Amino acid sequence: MLDWMLALKGDWLVGLDLSPSLAFADRGAYFPGWERSPADARGLWALVEEIAHDEPHLGANRFVDHPEASRHFRRHGGRCGDLFPPGAGRFRVVEDASREQRLCNPYSNFNLVGAAQVGKSSLTGMRLFHRIDGKLPIWPYDPVPSGGPVVVEIYTSIAATAAGLPRGRTKIRDPDTLDRALVALGSRKHAPLARYDDHATDAILAAAWLRAVARDPELWSPSGLTPGLARTEGWTFGVR
């Protein structure tokens, strides 16, 4: 994936279904009380890379198990850090906004337990972002270029609801539903797949949605996105 992204030529809008950052605004820090807590997202990417640099496939287990970082995470095996708050955990501003707009029901990226969590992939993604930083623009940490590729964070359920699927039932596992959703987004019907699982259909539908909304100026200038958030927490493309 990393090699493919770095080789892109021309105008591409690349959506990654993971979070490039962690909650910051609620506490004024990613890891309150840790002297190495970074000041911005790029510092966070660099910290994850430094601690997990020797793991293959951009793994981030060493970071999750770090004596200080682990205090903030809920991990498998019933291990919950003493600084993981009671309840569902900490959320970014955009995650609260997406819930209020009924776009999705996000999980805290500090929660690394359960099938619906995206914290693990987000930490792995931070090692990827560290590698593409300065080579590919990453919105909103970078301004949108006039041409060429740009990378954004997405929730695939936003694409699915935009295509008419009901909230809470956004996973597609059959060809007819996929075709109806694609047509609703202005795309052609799909070429048959060998297997219909929600990984493949999520990717196809999200790509069709990105193509349909890429030039919507409101999505590039959401009202809640401040310069401080653009530097620390980022934003999910599609949350207005």
Output the pLDDT for position 16.
97
Are the beta carbons of 228 and 25 closer than 8 angstroms? yes
Task: pLDDT tens for the chain, 240 residues: list them.
Answer: 999 999 999 999 999 999 999 999 999 999 999 999 999 999 999 999 999 999 999 999 999 999 999 999 999 999 999 999 999 999 999 999 999 998 888 899 999 999 888 999 999 999 999 999 999 999 999 999 999 999 999 999 999 999 999 888 889 999 999 999 999 999 999 999 999 998 999 999 999 999 999 999 999 999 999 999 999 999 999 999
Q: Do the strands 150-153 and 13-16 form a parallel or antiparallel pair, or are they unpaired?
A: parallel
- Does the pTM of the predicted model rise above 0.75? yes
Output the pLDDT for position 102.
87
Question: Three-state secondary structure along the chain?
Answer: CHHHHHCCCCCCEEEECCCCCCCCCCCCCCCCCCCCCCCCHHHHHHHHHHHHCCCHHHCCHHHHCCCCHHHHCEECCCEECCCCCCCCCCCCHHHHHHHHCCCCCCCCCCECCCCCCCHHHHHHHHHHHHHHCCCCCECCCCCCCCCCCEEEECCHHHHHHHCCCCCCCCCCCCHHHHHHHHHHCCCCCCCCCCCCCHHHHHHHHHHHHHHHHCCCHHHHCCCCCCHHHHHHCCCECCCC
* Dist. CA 147–CA 236, nearest whole Å: 21
Are the beta carbons of 120 and 60 closer than 8 angstroms? yes
Q: Do the strands 74-75 and 13-16 form a parallel or antiparallel pair, or are they unpaired?
A: unpaired
* Dist. CA 70–CA 80, nearest whole Å: 8
Output the pLDDT for position 104.
84
